Amino acid sequence: MSLDPVVEARLVPSTLCACATILVYDWICTLDQEITHVWSRPWSMGTLFFGLNRYLPFVDISVGLSAKLMLVSPEGCLVRNKIVAWLSVMGIFLSEVILMLRTFAIWERKGIVFVLLTFLAASTAVSTVAFTQLELASLEYVPTTGVGCKLAKASSVIIFAYSILMISETTIVILTAVKAYRDLRRSRQPWLVQLYRDGILFYFYLLSISLANILVPLLAPVSPEFQPLGTPLTKEGLQSMFANWLASPQRVLHSVLCTRVLLLIRGQAVRERPLDESVALSGYTNGTLVFASVDSEMNRTETETETETIDSVAHFS
């Protein structure tokens, strides 16, 4: 059996079903924390960020599944793919921004970190939008006798977008690791250790899926189904099929891991503050998204340090 029928009929739809399963399973596992630490607290910009990061993946995964499990024309396939692509770009960028805000907070709102992260966010957004548009412009679908969409042509330019995303994630994990090394020498409180440990592990998971999105289209086997009769086999068909195969898993992984980070931060903020105190949970001061200031005096106690760290990372959430 050639590669094309196997991939079209099983691999891509199965991957989307697996992504949907992960989303639902994680939602069930963390729903109690979400209700307690998010929807039962005063609403803020962080609440909006959380909701979009949490629930947008359900939309684009559903649209993606409809393109694979229903009778769809080539034009309908293209429309659905564009919807999924732009929702994924928006969702992944939102997750990156949330993680950047968290990084800015743990670095005590230092100006140099703000400049670096702002440049990183802007360059990532512009380049990702540009490469995504180029990739979408190259897509060509052909009619199929069964359900789903049959992709006949696609550029591999999206690999560059994943490369830029890797640079962004690498920068964030380096900043987090450096700050963790400094803070954990002063305090070994379990929640602080978990915050940094989970954060660094999550970044490595995201780096891994970004790297896979780059390597899979380059290393996967060639499918003869995409080659004109009588021409030698090339990587054209392979890239058409595999260029975005892991885009949905990456999208879901960003959402799930970022949700876990936010729930950890909010949960600790609630435990450390009285229930009627909204300082650690509010996302606005005079209408502007802010972070709590962290006192840099050298004579502060360990308890003061921990409290300030909680305020810093919880203010945007």
317 within some domain: no
CATH number at residue 222: 1.20.1070
71 within some domain: yes
Nearest to 154 by CA among 132, 136, 142: 136
27 within some domain: yes
Q: Helix-strand-coil percent breakdown of the chain, rounded to 5?
A: 70, 5, 25
Q: How many domains does the chain fold into?
A: 1
147 within some domain: yes
Q: Taking the model in full, what pTM does it have?
A: 0.76
Report residue 279 as tokens.
Answer: 């300082």
Quote the domain boundaries for residue 36: 3-312
Identify any residues that bridge with 284 across adjacent strands, giving them in sequence order.
Answer: 289
Cβ–Cβ < 8 Å for 210, 249: no
Cβ–Cβ < 8 Å for 102, 313: yes
47 within some domain: yes
165 within some domain: yes
pLDDT values of the chain reduced to their tens digit, one per residue, 317 residues: 445 555 556 777 888 999 999 999 999 999 999 999 899 888 888 889 999 999 999 999 999 998 888 888 999 999 999 999 999 999 999 999 998 998 998 898 899 999 999 999 999 999 999 999 998 998 888 888 878 888 777 777 888 998 999 999 899 999 999 998 888 888 777 877 877 888 888 888 888 888 888 888 777 665 544 444 444 434 444 455 666 778 889 999 999 999 988 888 887 766 665 444 333 333 333 323 333 333 333 234 444 444 444 445 545 55
Spatial distance between the Cα atoms of 104 and 83, rounded to a whole number of angstroms: 31
Nearest to 194 by CA among 303, 310, 29: 310
Residue given tokens 């042509």 in the structure block: 153
Cβ–Cβ < 8 Å for 306, 314: no
pLDDT for the residue 283: 37
Cβ–Cβ < 8 Å for 207, 96: no
DSSP type of residue 228 = P
142 within some domain: yes
* Coil vs helix vs strand at 149: coil
